[in-house]
């Protein structure tokens, strides 16, 4: 078992704590001014600070969460995993080749302009370039064109069973709708404005990256009439403002939650749960009941992980229990799981996962590394220290890699730097990287089409790390065409076997993480992805 490592330089820890306290005091003072002005305000500490604000540019969950505040989706997923209309209704032709979408009435962009079919077509095309599930959908699309101002048609080359599930997917990349002029931003560039049609408006003038993000109720938003269910249904905003306050130090945030200086904390530290659960003014609960898969991802472009034998040696050195014990350390909230497509799902498989779940292959890892020709090239591991659910993985993995014979360069940073740097294809010596760690919500990895980490597109639209594997792409196409669950199970197991043999990525276990909020908040909606701030009311 590995304990969670603490930063050894007290000057850095002290500086971070002092900065967090300074930021908290300043931000909360401004929040108090808003409340004094008669505005009902929710103050929240999210799992990360917000810097990248284009939800089509990164899969980072804080950017997705921002997206749900500002933007809306054509379709959405309810708590029964059913796709529901959100901005649009749809009908399907008898031959299953044409999907016609019609926008509902009352949709406006935040700049006052009406939402049009042209906007939505452009938004889907942008999403389809970036998202793994979107890319696979677009492989089957013959045309995607407006019919009139309120409707558009998606025509397929052949029947494809995941059209609605793709457009209604709840998490990164979420297919958010935006004006055509923004959706047509060139590939590789971020959009220049935050103009959506969602329930909140982004207050650009008050945005301080790394400090605070502010959202105000959109008075022009017309909610659906259905009750909210996950990301579907009526998004009724019951407060005037939501402020995301950055507090890098978890203890500072917990203190603020207990004192009532903040209302909501997305990720509670596991070691402080007993204290929070004993506080009669605080509710502790898991909003995402399906949990997270944590994982390691290698860079396939540069040594040493361009060599499959070296990747296999690193894979064999990993031990899920060590990672989970350091990350969570509570049997109630963690689960060893070798299934790439998540345990307790129809596609669960243990093919190729024995060493991960048993943690018994270090000797084999050392032997394979010695045979691989590894020349001692340092493995650059990015280690964010500001997100409670991402601190442990790189430290534990680095120790295991060293034990196997790797030289490891652990580079301490923050998560938003990782989010930016992992997109770089430069060599590690020029600001690139060899390995990073992240978490996916289970909804994002539960099948081969949705799971971005298992794709094999390489530089041609592949996820960070740019694994290239033609066999996996062939199998993913086969899965997309499959008609029965038995067939899907077999194909998913074949994909898992290939992914583990080639070490496309390394699943390091599953976990749940509780959130906490003041009991003055009511109406909090659970879901498979993000905490949402519609339907929440706040009593005085």
Contact between 295 and 439 under an 8 Å Cβ cutoff? The reply is yes
CA angle, residues 424, 428, 432, in degrees to nearest 5? 15
In angstroms, rounded to a whole number, what is the distance separating the alpha carbons of residues 526 and 287? 5
In angstroms, rounded to a whole number, what is the distance separating the alpha carbons of residues 18 and 16? 5
| Nearest Cα to Cα of residue 372 among 403, 400, 406 | 406
CA angle, residues 339, 340, 341, in degrees to nearest 5? 90
Full set of structural domains in the chain with CATH: 29-55+198-287+517-538 (3.40.190.10), 75-183 (3.90.76.10), 292-511 (3.10.105.10)
pLDDT at residue number 34: 57
In angstroms, rounded to a whole number, what is the distance separating the alpha carbons of residues 46 and 139? 36
Element (H, E) at 251: helix 250-259
Which residues fall within 8 angstroms of residue 24, CB to CB, at 6 or more apart? Answer: 245, 247, 252, 253, 256, 261
What is the percent of the chain with per-residue pLDDT over 90, rounded to a whole number?
Answer: 86
- In which band, very low, low, confident or very high, does the pLDDT at 16 lie, cut at 50, 70 and 90? very low
Helices (H), ranges, 37-162: 61-70, 117-130, 132-140
- What pTM was computed for the model? 0.85
Q: Residues 414-458: pLDDT tens digits?
A: 998 999 999 999 999 999 999 999 999 998 999 999 999 999 999
Sequence-ordered strand ranges (E) for 70-150: 75-77, 83-85, 88-92, 98-103, 141-148
| Nearest Cα to Cα of residue 69 among 176, 172, 169 | 176
pLDDT at residue number 35: 58
Q: Residues 71-115: pLDDT tens digits?
A: 999 999 999 889 999 999 999 999 999 999 999 999 999 999 999
Contact between 270 and 328 under an 8 Å Cβ cutoff? The reply is yes
- Sign of the torsion formed by the C-alpha atoms of 518, 520, 521 and 523: positive
Residues making up the chain, counted from first to last: 540
Element (H, E) at 441: strand 435-441
In angstroms, rounded to a whole number, what is the distance separating the alpha carbons of residues 512 and 492? 24
pLDDT at residue number 148: 98
Cα 171 from chain centroid (whole Å): 6
In angstroms, rounded to a whole number, what is the distance separating the alpha carbons of residues 382 and 128? 29
Q: Residues 287-317: pLDDT tens digits?
A: 999 899 999 999 999 999 999 999 999 999 9
Sheet strands side by side (includes 334-335): 334-335, 506-511, 292-298, 435-441, 379-384, 408-413
Q: Is residue 17 pLDDT above 60, yes or no?
A: no
- In which band, very low, low, confident or very high, does the pLDDT at 42 lie, cut at 50, 70 and 90? very high
pLDDT at residue number 31: 59
Q: Residues 185-213: pLDDT tens digits?
A: 998 899 999 999 999 999 999 999 989 99
Mean pLDDT is lowest, of 30-39, 265-274, 386-395, 495-504, for: 30-39
* Residues forming beta bridges with residue 175, ordered by sequence position: none
Q: Is residue 8 pLDDT above 90, yes or no?
A: no
**Collapsed DSSP state (helix, strand, coil) of residue 283:** strand
**Collapsed DSSP state (helix, strand, coil) of residue 180:** helix
Contact between 389 and 327 under an 8 Å Cβ cutoff? The reply is yes
- In which band, very low, low, confident or very high, does the pLDDT at 413 lie, cut at 50, 70 and 90? very high
pLDDT at residue number 129: 94
Helical axes 470-481 vs 132-140, angle rounded to 10°: 70
- The backbone torsions φ and ψ at residue 64, rounded to the nearest 5 degrees and listed phi first, read -60, -45
Mean pLDDT of 303-332: 97
């Amino acid at each position: 078992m590995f304990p969670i490592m603490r930063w050894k330089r007290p000057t850095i820890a002290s500086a971070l704590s002092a900065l967090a306290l300074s930021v908290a005091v300043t931000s909360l003072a401004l929040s108090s001014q808003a409340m004094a002005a008669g505005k009902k305000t929710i103050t929240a500490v999210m799992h990360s600070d917000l810097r990248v604000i284009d939800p089509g540019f990164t899969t980072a969950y804080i950017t997705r969460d921002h997206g749900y505040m500002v933007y809306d989706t054509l379709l959405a997923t309810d708590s029964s995993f059913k796709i529901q209309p959100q901005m649009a209704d749809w009908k399907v032709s008898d031959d299953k080749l044409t999907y016609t979408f019609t926008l509902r009435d009352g949709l406006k962009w935040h700049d006052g302009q009406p939402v049009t079919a042209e906007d939505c077509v452009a938004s889907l095309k942008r999403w389809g370039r970036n998202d793994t599930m979107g890319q696979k959908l677009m492989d089957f699309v013959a045309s995607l064109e407006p019919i009139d101002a309120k409707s558009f048609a998606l025509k397929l080359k052949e029947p494809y069973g995941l059209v609605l599930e793709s457009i209604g997917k709840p998490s990164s990349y979420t297919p958010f709708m935006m004006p055509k002029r923004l959706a047509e931003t060139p590939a590789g560039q971020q959009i220049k404005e935050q103009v959506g049609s969602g329930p909140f408006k982004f207050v650009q003038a008050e945005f301080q990256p790394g400090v605070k993000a502010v959202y105000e109720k959109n008075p022009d938003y017309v909610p659906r009439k259905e009750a909210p269910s996950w990301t579907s249904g009526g998004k009724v905003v019951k407060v005037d403002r939501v402020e995301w306050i950055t507090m890098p130090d978890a203890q500072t945030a917990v203190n603020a939650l207990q004192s009532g200086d903040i209302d909501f904390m997305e990720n509670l530290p596991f070691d402080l749960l007993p204290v929070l659960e004993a506080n009669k003014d605080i509710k502790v609960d898991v909003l995402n009941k399906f949990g997270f898969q944590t994982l390691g991802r290698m860079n396939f472009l540069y040594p040493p992980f361009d060599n499959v034998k070296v990747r296999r040696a690193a894979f064999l050195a990993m031990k899920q229990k060590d990672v989970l014990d350091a990350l969570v350390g509570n049997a109630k909230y963690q689960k060893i799981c070798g299934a790439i497509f998540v345990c307790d799902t129809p596609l669960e498989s243990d093919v190729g996962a024995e060493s991960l779940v048993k943690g018994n292959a270090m000797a084999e890892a050392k032997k394979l590394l010695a045979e691989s020709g590894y020349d001692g090239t340092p493995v650059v591991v990015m280690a964010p220290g500001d997100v409670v659910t991402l601190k442990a993985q790189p430290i534990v993995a680095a120790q295991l890699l060293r034990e196997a014979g790797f030289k490891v360069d652990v580079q301490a940073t923050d998560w938003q730097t990782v989010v930016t740097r992992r997109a770089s294809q430069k060599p590690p010596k020029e600001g690139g990287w060899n390995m990073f760690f992240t978490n996916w919500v289970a909804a994002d990895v539960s099948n081969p089409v949705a799971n971005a980490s298992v794709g094999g597109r390489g530089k041609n639209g592949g996820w960070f790390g740019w694994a290239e594997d033609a066999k996996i792409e062939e199998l993913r196409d086969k899965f997309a065409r499959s008609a029965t669950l038995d067939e899907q199970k077999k194909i998913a197991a074949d994909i898992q076997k290939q992914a583990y043999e080639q070490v496309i990525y390394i699943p390091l276990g599953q976990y749940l993480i509780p959130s906490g909020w003041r009991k003055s908040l009511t109406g909090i909606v659970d879901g498979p992805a993000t905490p949402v701030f519609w339907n929440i009311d706040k009593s005085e």
